[in-house]
Amino acid sequence: MIGRLNHVAIAVSDMEAAASVYRDTLGADVSEKVAQPDHGVNTVFINLPNTKIELLEPLGENSPIAKFLEKNPSGGIHHVCYEVDDILAARDKLVAQGARVLGDGEPKIGAHGKPVLFLHPKDFLGTLTELEQA
């Protein structure tokens, strides 16, 4: 069912400092910062030859990454995102197997303009898992 690794996300409290680590220290191709108000985060993408790293910082009062950063003040790996050909079929199959879809269960438009869903970390080996329509 799952296909390519679309991105690995890292939550950070200081986006400028984090982007500098990837741009200046690691010498990567780093995008501009984009607000994702529907998701309560700002994103910066690091474009690697075979995948992407998504840097996340909180946006607004009820950011879903706020608690994570309280527990991990120096940042940390927050989620992995896999591509699926048919996100609704994938969701229905996973729900039938007992997996919990976060939020209202309906896809939202993600950072790449495509539908995304999140699956509860406790159902996937302690790893918050995002699915993105390929």
In the complex, which residues of this chain contact ligand MC0 (CB under 6 A)?
9, 36, 39, 41, 43, 54, 56, 64-65, 67-68, 78-79, 81, 102, 110-111, 116, 118, 121, 126-128, 130
- Cα 46 to its chain centre, rounded Å, is 13
Q: Which is nearer to ligand MC0, 19 or 116 (CB)?
A: 116
Beta strands per DSSP E along 1-134: 5-11, 29-30, 34-36, 41-47, 52-58, 76-84, 108-109, 115-119, 128-133
Q: What are the structure tokens assigned to 56, written together? A: 């996340």
Nearer to Co ion, 9 or 131 (CB): 9
Applying CB under 5 A, which part among 12-20, 57-65, 81-89, 91-99 lies near Co ion?
81-89
9 counts as binding Co ion under rule CB under 5 A: yes
Concerning whether 130 is annotated as a catalytic residue, the answer is yes
Instruction: Answer whether 2's CB lies under 8 Å from 82's CB.
Output: yes
Tell me how far, at minimum, the Cβ of 108 lies from Co ion, in Å.
Answer: 11
Catalytic residue among 57, 83, 130, 132: 130
User: CB–CB of 35/57 below 8 Å?
Assistant: no
What is the β-pairing status of strands 115-119 and 76-84? Answer: unpaired
> Which of 90, 95, 96, 117 is CA-nearest to residue 106?
117
Q: Build a one-symbol-per-residue string for 43-72: x at contacts with Co ion by CB under 5 A, - elsewhere.
A: -----------x------------------
Q: Which residues are catalytic?
A: 130
Interface residues with Co ion (CB under 5 A)? 9, 54, 81, 130
